[in-house]
A and B are shown apart, each in its own frame.
Chain A
């Protein structure tokens, strides 16, 4: 670890600001505790010991949207629930990301009825779509990996 040793002596690191921000953001995603339907159960399983979402630094589930930067929309979104979801999304501080988890959140899934929103992306921007009914916990991990890649490519110029 030659570089680190030398740098430690100097006390200075030179890097690009984008890289530091992205590195810290992608390794500490804080999702919001937010369950809608069946997919929320698989989201809970992802937190449990077997899949252990903590390996990717995303285990700090927050009850308040003001402390979260990742909104996982797990499950069927109804028209009655929609205003609350929008409000929660708006309360989250920038930068924030959204994972549409499961068929219902992506497109409405099998529920093409009078009270179901046919896809959350009609109302808020979605970063990662994950299909499945419900997707397996591994899929959520995949989604988080994909999101990490995406965050890595972001720049201050384009997004706060």
Chain B
């Protein structure tokens, strides 16, 4: 399956779940609203032709001047097709998204890291705690307004 076929298949099957698609420099990009995230992710994994079974990465990007502020970005790989897809979910400050751990167990720590670094909550996550920073750390280091050298206590 090539990129265009992936996008075509997604648009043909679940066009109601997605908010938009684009080609991207490297991989097809799909924009999803957070209400439909789990349903869409389940489709990606369980669809026989797409079969996106290996979660590569969950991360976020902070755009302080934009509303909603964050993009949660998922990279998922399909061992069968040798293709990757990027799924983007916009999330506002102080909001959260549904956890995808019910779809891929491997997302557990990746989501914890996003929570730790950006302060984005993941609902129904089995164990949402800070992972890299101390438990009592007050800030979210990868937000753009956090200075590189930290905040003196």
Contact = CB atoms under 8 A, between A and B. Distances in A.
Touching in the complex, A and B, CB below 8 A? yes
Interface of A: 79-80, 112-115
B10 to A, nearest CB: 39
B119 to A, nearest CB: 15
Contact of B148 (A79, A80, A114): A114
B133 to A, nearest CB: 7
Interface in B124-145: 133-134, 141
Contacts, number: 18
A113 B146 CA distance: 11
B88 to A, nearest CB: 27
B149 A114 contact: yes
B150 interface: yes
Interface of B: 133-134, 141, 146-151
Give the 7 A-B CB pairs with smallest separation, nearest first.
A114-B150, A80-B134, A114-B141, A113-B148, A114-B149, A112-B149, A113-B149
Q: Summarize B's interface: helix, strand, loop or mixed.
A: loop
A115 B148 CA distance: 9
Nearest to B147: A114
A123 to B, nearest CB: 16
A113 B147 CA distance: 9
B114 to A, nearest CB: 17
Contacts of B151: 114
Contacts of B147: 114
Contacts of A115: 133, 141, 150
A15 B146 CA distance: 62
Nearest to B141: A114
Given A113-B150, A114-B151, 4 more contacts: A79-B134, A113-B149, A114-B146, A114-B147
A114 B148 CA distance: 6
A112 B133 contact: no
Nearest to B134: A80
A119 to B, nearest CB: 14
B134 A112 contact: no
A80 B130 CA distance: 13
Contacts of A113: 148-150
A80 B134 CA distance: 7
A115 B116 CA distance: 14
A117 to B, nearest CB: 11
A121 B90 CA distance: 45
A79 B132 CA distance: 11
Nearest to A80: B134
